[in-house]
Every structure is written in C-alpha cells, then in structure tokens.
Chain A
C-alpha cells in the first residue's frame, strides 16, 4: 500500500487576495466596528458592544453614535450555521441577565443522556465521562440561535448585512483598516453580467474576525503577522442530518468506536430537537490514516446500526449539512488573538473544547470580551494592538482558557489511535489534565501520511441512506452554477490524491472522472474540509452555499 502526504499537493493560501495593502476606496462606507461573520461569536460581540455604547451615552459618557456592522456571507442569518447542538447556557445568561433560560432560543433541557461504545452489531452502554456530562444544558438548533441573536442585535441598532461576504481585509502597514465585500454577478470567466454588483469597501476602527472554523481571513492574518501557536491547529469534519422520526427520542446520545477505524478519532451524536425531530451526526478528525475514509458514507452506514435504525425507520431525512470543527484545543491557540485594529474570536481563534464538543458558549463569550476591549479602546480613542491586548488578557483569565487547559492533551492523545488514546484520556480525566505532564506534539493534518487503499462501494437505499448529491440537495444549496470557481486547486493532482479529495469532500465537489480530478464548485457547502487537506476555499458570491434551517 502506498502512502501520500496531502500537504505535498496543497496550494498555498492566496494571501495577496485575502489581505490587500490598499486604503478603503473613496466611495466607501464608514463604520466604527466591523464583525466578519454572523455566528454566535460575531452576534454576541455586536450585542455586547451596542449595549456598552448605549449605556455610556445614557450616562453621558460622550462616546456618541458608534456604527456597528455584522457582515455575513449567508443570504439570511443562520443559513450557513451548523452545530450539534447541546448548549451550555452560561454565556447567554451573562449577555442577557434580564432574561430567563426559558426565554432563550433553546428547544429543550437535557434530562437524560447516554454514551455508547459501538461495535458493528452492538452498543455497549458506558458510564458518561465527566467531560461529556450535559446536565443543565439545552438542545438547540444553531440556525435558530443565530436568527434570535440577530433580532436582538437589530433591536439595539446594529447593522446586520446578510448576503455580504467579506472578500478581503484592507490593511495599512500592520493595521487592519477595514474590509472589502465580495462582488456578485460575475460569469464563469469572471466577467460582469447584467446584475453585477461591485465590491464595497468598509472602513472601520476595529475589525472582529468571527468567521468561524478555518476562517480564510483569520488564517491569512495569522500567517501575515507570523503569529505562532505551540501546536498547529487541527480539524475534524462533521456531517449531520435532521430527521423527522416516527419513534420519539428522549435523551441525548453520544457514541464512540464503530464505524470509525481505530486510527481515526471521532464519534457520533443524536439529539432530540423535538421528541420526533432528531439531529444526528458523525464527527471525524482529519488526521485519519486511510485516504479512502469518507465521513458522509460512514454516517450513512452508521444509520443502519441497531442503535439508530429503529429511530429512523419510516422517518424522513429533511436536512443535511457538513462543517469542520477546530480540534487543536489549548495548544493550538494563536499566541496572540489581537493585532492593530483587529481581534480573532470564536472558532476562528480555536475556542472549542473537544471532549465536551462545545464551542457555542466559548464563541459568544469571546465575542463579548472582544466587545469590552473594543469599547475601552474606542473610549481611549486608540484601537491599536496595545489597547486591544486587553482582549487576550480577558480570555486568558476566563473559563474559556481554564476549560481548554484542563483538556489540553486529551484530543492530542488520540493521534496515536483509539485505544491508546482512550487509556491516556482516562488518566488525564483522573488527574484533572495533569497527565502526561507535558504538551503532546502533533503535526498539521495535511502532514499526516495517508495510505491509499481501496474503498468498498456503498449503494444508498434512498430510504435510510443517501448519496452525497442527495445530501447537497437537502442542504438547500442553490448556488448559481455559472459563478467563477471559488476553490484554488493544486496543479496536476495525481489520481490517488484526486480520489482522496473525492472521498473526503462530503458534498461531491470533487469527483474522479477518467483518472482526473473534476471540480463541481457550486456543490460546496462551505464545510472547509478540503481547505485543511487540499484545495483552498475563498469567499464567493452572496447567497451561495447551503440554506440551513434547523442545523
């Protein structure tokens, strides 16, 4: 069996396009603070900032009107949002002290939970590890959370701009001076059509990168400013479906083991949004060992297991989607998450705790800390790095840092496989994170060799299991099929690498046709998996991509 190293075929990030040393154009829009990304991080940040400004003005602080804008690439808020999700409500409580848990956009409290180790035919009930306990948390849809936060933000006078992807950061020396939105209405060759809308420049005193997982601008900024981290950031891919079921589910379920090979890290989840509406997904670390591993297909096979099948049989798959998760944890956090005129929040900074599969409350909380640091900076009339460093100090002294530190090596231990990892993780839990006493080194996902083996063919039955193309249809993706490709693909991709892309991409963007790579860019649902191991993702025309409703 041959081996291949994905990074050998990966093109570099197109940095000159993502970071432009140009001042915002003359016909620009002037705002004070720009949030790139309308997810939990960006929206919680915008809400907190609008509140602080309002309070300051009410108390005669004299800050005056502060223009706040949230730029979101999805055509409507929530349409590119995908999570599990079981939510820890603590950031909601801090952001909305006047509201009760029952006012938040949650579906139901977690009352019962179960963890299973799966074999191909059995489910072994395990005691719930402390890191995976969800008592006091709520099952929710991130799409619904984001729409709700958007309404709160608008009530406070925040400008929400859905359908305006940010294409690049505009910089002046080392200062981020604003952003440029993506144009729309270009034909396949990049020529303007009748309904062409040119890019718009936006000047801002501070820019908050809240792009979520594998943010293109955040990566480019970190690279450009040479901000290191002890370990590289690593990622997992999650593929998720929503089912309307005949049989009711009364608990949240997590599984480990089958259908994953032992050299892959991951697990599945099944959560009830309503008794008969179930969210089901499988998450797999991209440092897996076999080039033929296919997360979408593994999820399809998994649904036939006796643990899942009885719930799904006779039901209907109503939505499908995919997204990556930053899994590097504490040691993959950039050494600084601030710079001159800019801060990084949420998944874009890597604030995810993998053992508990939680990121939403960290994203919101980091957005709120960013808002507080920016508010002080605006008051001081100085949004330079020295002022915005307060953001890092706030994060470092908070539960975000504490939680991630406690589980700092847990995900990393699994780099050596499921069983070794499981034992090490057990010891880490017992010692409160102290074992093994030092940082475990891990390579970049794209530097992990994959063996090029052959995959068994899988034929969907169109009742319980579906093809990738059916999945893309159920994601609501209706991208115009004549837009210029937004994917930067390496030159002369060998057959075995093309085959790996085709297996890895859950949305059938990559296909192997006559031994060559074929790219169906409009299928892309912005999960960013291939950006980690292969072709690079760049922002594209507004309204492209999925239209998630209850993900």
Chain B
C-alpha cells in the first residue's frame, strides 16, 4: 500500500490573528503554526491503512516555504516514512496553482491512494484535493468520514444533510478527510526522535501567483454585546419583539 498525504502549514486556530502593515497578509510574528487539523485525519488514516496492510509507504507532501519542513516533521513523527517539500518562495493563493504543483509531484509516483484534508482552515477553499484528482484523472471522494478498502476497491461514507452518502470507487483514488474519520495520534517520543532521521526532500518549485490577488484583508466586525431581555415565560413577549424588530429574524 503506497499512500501520499498532502498537508499544509496553517496558523493555529487559537492564535489571535493580526493583519500585517501592508494590509494584505497576516502578521506572522508570534503566530503559532500547526499541521492543518483536517490533514491530521488524513495522515492518521494513511498510517492506519499502512499498518493494516502490514507493509507499504506513507509519503507526506507539502507545498510551502522552508518553515513547512516543521509541519512535515510532525507527520513524520506521527509515523509517515518520508517527506517532500515543494518549496515555493511565494504563498500560493490560487488553488489551481497549488493543485498543479502537487499533481506534478504525484504523477507517476505509483500511489494507490492520495489523501488530503477536506479543507485548510486558513483559506477554507475545499478545492485542492478535488482539483488534483481531476488533473490526474483519478476518481475522488470528498469529506470522507468513514473508509473501508478491499481488493483494489473502496467504500467511503460522507455525512450529508440528514443522512450518510455511501460512495464506491476503485483505486487509485484521491480522497479528502473529514472530522470523525479517526482520532489522530499524538507523536510519541520515539516517533519524534525517529523523524529527525527520516528523509525529507526539498524540491524548489516556481508557483506563479495564478489568477488570485489579495486586495485587502480585514478582521470580521466585532460581535455586538449580548443582551438579556428578561427571565422566565414572562420575558417571551420581549424576546419576540427583539427578534422581530431588532434582529429582524422573525
């Protein structure tokens, strides 16, 4: 079982984001970066599949700056066998540009399965995984919350409004992982020590900015303070009035 997992370095969800001086990028000073949480599910699933198969290889691939090596090391510490950094000086904003760079690396790699997180928590595009599938001409299932593989075929479940969608596909395939697929492991001490010695290949890529440019970044408006209209059944008329006339939701 040869599996590729594509991962991204993103700001921690608990970080207080500030916008940089130019108004077009976040101020990275003091910001903690992590392995994208949805990609953690993808890494975990890859490791479980390899462990179940008893043999194989898990490659962790990231497009990004040198700093993304740390993110790749996290995947290696969890148990991935080798890492590839597609090193690009400029951050890629256009999902198609990212997808092309990754597809070029994956093409001809002989992978049985290519895994992504369903989205990156920084840009929320939900696009790259599916685009890579299209570029490689492979079947794809997005937002997978349960997965079974057998005899070159797979069955994936996706949670949809009010139910579960079951999708059958043939390997090789491209899947994107949703929350609930598994419980990602913490890297163990031994894993962290071992990760330092695992191969991590750095390949410079020239990713053009594509069709996307940032004009301006702004923080969402501060939420208005809440208000308690009253307590108990007696407050219901006041609540209805507030919902109808202030919030205008009724």
| Given A194-B183, A549-B30: A478 in contact with B192 (beta carbons within 8 A) | no
Which of A40-48, A157-165, A209-217 lies at the interface?
A157-165
Q: A470-483 interface mask toward B, CB cutoff 8 Å, 1 = contact, 0 = none? A: 00000010100000
Min C-beta distance of B48 to chain A, whole Å: 12
Which of these, B32, B190, B196, contacts A200 with CB under 8 Å? B190
CB pairs A–B below 8 angstroms (13 shown): A29-B193, A159-B192, A159-B193, A163-B186, A195-B183, A195-B184, A197-B186, A197-B188, A200-B188, A200-B190, A318-B16, A542-B186, A547-B14
How far, in angstroms, from A294 to B32 measured CA to CA in the complex? 33
Min C-beta distance of B64 to chain A, whole Å: 18
Q: Which residues of A contact B32 (CB under 8 A)?
A: 76
Chain A residues with a Cβ under 8 A of chain B: 29, 76, 144, 159, 161, 163-164, 181, 184-185, 194-195, 197, 200, 202, 318, 476, 478, 542, 547, 549-550
B16 in contact with A195 (CB, 8 Å):
no
How far, in angstroms, from A76 to B196 measured CA to CA in the complex? 18
B189 in contact with A181 (CB, 8 Å):
yes
Q: Which residues of A contact B193 (CB under 8 A)?
A: 29, 159
Interface status of B24 (Cβ within 8 A of chain A): no
Does more than half of chain B's interface fall in helix, strand or loop, or is it mixed? loop
Min C-beta distance of A442 to chain B, whole Å: 40
Q: Which residues of B contact A161 (CB under 8 A)?
A: 189, 192
Interface status of B244 (Cβ within 8 A of chain A): no
A476 in contact with B190 (CB, 8 Å):
no
B186 in contact with A476 (CB, 8 Å):
no
B190 in contact with A29 (CB, 8 Å):
yes
Closest-by-CB residue of B relative to A157 is B196
Closest-by-CB residue of B relative to A30 is B193
Interface status of B203 (Cβ within 8 A of chain A): no
Chain B residues with a Cβ under 8 A of chain A: 14, 16, 30, 32, 183-186, 188-190, 192-193, 196
Min C-beta distance of B189 to chain A, whole Å: 4
| Given A194-B183, A549-B30: A29 in contact with B189 (beta carbons within 8 A) | yes
How far, in angstroms, from A184 to B189 measured CA to CA in the complex? 12
Q: Which residues of A contact B30 (CB under 8 A)?
A: 144, 549-550
How far, in angstroms, from A195 to B16 measured CA to CA in the complex? 28
Q: Which residues of B contact A185 (CB under 8 A)?
A: 186
How far, in angstroms, from A542 to B185 measured CA to CA in the complex? 13
How far, in angstroms, from A375 to B181 measured CA to CA in the complex? 48
Min C-beta distance of A191 to chain B, whole Å: 16
| Given A547-B14, A550-B30: A202 in contact with B189 (beta carbons within 8 A) | yes
Min C-beta distance of A1 to chain B, whole Å: 39
Q: Which residues of A contact B184 (CB under 8 A)?
A: 195
Further pairs besides A549-B16, A549-B30: 14, Cβ < 8 Å: A29-B189, A29-B193, A159-B192, A159-B193, A159-B196, A163-B186, A164-B189, A181-B189, A185-B186, A195-B183, A197-B186, A197-B188, A202-B189, A476-B14
